[in-house]
Structure 1
Amino acid sequence: MKIGAAAITKLSEMICGDEPFVFFPYRSSSYLTRFFVELDLDYVHDGSTRRIWVREVLDELNRRQSPDNMPSKEVVKIIEYLLHPDHFLFDDKVDRKKAIEAVTASLKTNELSISEQANGTIKVLPLNGEFVSTSYDETPTERVITFKPSVFQVPEKKLNEKLISVMMPFNANFSGTYSAITRVAEYMDLECLRADDIWNNSTFIQDIFDLIFCSKVVIVDFTGKNPNVMYETGIAHTLGKTVIPITQSLDDIPSDLGHHRALKYYPNEEGLRNLSNELYKRLNVIYQKNT
């Protein structure tokens, strides 16, 4: 989809910080060039009227190929970067709250909305939609769908970038495994929870859904072919989460999931120490990819 001409004009004025959007940072010619360069977009202001030049750049990017219900990935990046919290620091003239309200109003007529993430950054969304998928940043040109589950209630909470959820049998034999996982999370300053760590809802399965929904990473232990873990893995995959399978036996992984790489571990002191090391490597890759 393409954003309408009226919204493109307003976005151009917002990027410049011109009237009536003086609560955005004011950008002179050199800072306009810097704005686009920081987004890896090769545009240099040519000295012409600032807002007209920016509108021409946006018009060009707006014509690029895009998903059915989203603008081009370049336009999305510009909108999200325009509202980055770092732009609103140390300047009494700017007002990020007003800026967010202005962008929201401009995008609404184009069936788009925005959502503030746990780290303060902004995501452009289809109207009434929300990205909970971990993989969205990696594949921004794929089709995005909105769904409403009938078995669960969608929680009001937002995606927590630092949250790791663990799906495993609730058995004392797995306490060492859980400790090996939480040890890594604590070292990396991440949060780690199992469903039995919380009690926020009247039904246990709703707590599980909430936990997966809000997590960036879901670790699933297939050891023993536990049917609950299989079900929870399906939820995590459907929500687009980054799933890390672990198991004490590769034979316990269903054939439908056999193409996913899993970390095999032994439930002894050395095996759990190795599990911690391998999880640290994997989590490092996941979190470095988003920095």
Structure 2
Amino acid sequence: MTSNGVTFLEKEPFLRLFNRNGYVLDFGTERFDDFTQESIGVRLCDKYRLSKGRSLESFVSEASADQIWKLFADLLKYYESFYIQEDASDAKYGLLYQKCKQVLSSHSTEARKAEDSNSMYFNVIIRADESFPVENERIFEETVPTVAARFKNPDGTPNFELLRTLPTITSPEYADNSSAIAQIGYLGADLSQYLNSVVASFPAVKLNRILASTRWRGLRTRWMVFEGDPYKMLGDLRNNYNPVQSEAVLQFPNTPINNKQIAVMMPFNPAYPTPDMDPVYGAIKEAATQLEYECIRVDEIQRPTDITQDILKLIEGSKIIIADLSGANPNVYYEMGLAHARGRIVVPISRDKEKLPFDNSHIRTIFYHADDKYSLNGLTEQLVKALKAL
């Protein structure tokens, strides 16, 4: 590795392709200096007082990596546009050309990864009807063109494989006086545009901090991509509301989050007197065990305390909440709502063939068969995949 970070094996193919016994392709001295001035801001022959080829070699030995790669890329474009036919009958230069393309492509990929690691982007998806995905024509509306270009395929269509890796905010359309609720989390692998996992819920009007410069704010269905940290741009999501000071207001206990604890909210089946006898809970617990999580259901708490306080403490102290929506049990829906409001990751599950209420149909739900233990193995496998993705 040289001091500028460009290795001998990386730069040598370019020097052999461009340096023709002291000449650089078909450039005259003046035109070569004009070219390098435009490319990297330096007239090489004027600077080094050497031949074009030797000036190029001297520059490559001491310039910064960014300057070297910029000049190599520009010279390769020139070669492809004006000189490649001169080498059509020479296999040696054909191989050098292919090697240069390979090295440049590899460098571009690594540079992109490095840039990506220092940059953060996120989706904002607003829909009038959250049961329908945003049409492709409205994806990247009100998105900075250079940002949109990062998440497009070569044919200009949205690259959903890249987009779904970003933090994503979803919201119904809303007005400034609306009570609509937005959510932030991560998309699933399908094209439904539902959140696979929800990190937090918050009033949709908070999105105005992000959408202040847009034309429509919350009044138009579209999919936008922004650069930045959504959590910093939205503000503290833990302080979404100013609670009324009253004994009638639900008070959560001051319990630290255990990142390896999963709370399970599910209807209790009288056919199974204890949690360990419930096969559905057993399938959930098996998934948690495989990934070294502790799985707790409220009726496993053995202490003479108020069950409501036990539920609140369990939600407050858990990173993940698994909610079984089977049978539309109102207690489970209530507890799931509390978990969303507290900013916990919620993973809904339900028996297959059950229709979810509209307000929950936009949240990705794991459906399972409960016919026998072999069917429930599928629930365990799906939960393991979902938990690994968090």
Report the TM-score, using the length of structure 1 for normalisation: 0.49
Computing the radius of gyration from Cα coordinates, the structure with the larger value is 2
Report the TM-score, using the length of structure 2 for normalisation: 0.37
The structure with more strand, counted as a fraction of residues: 2
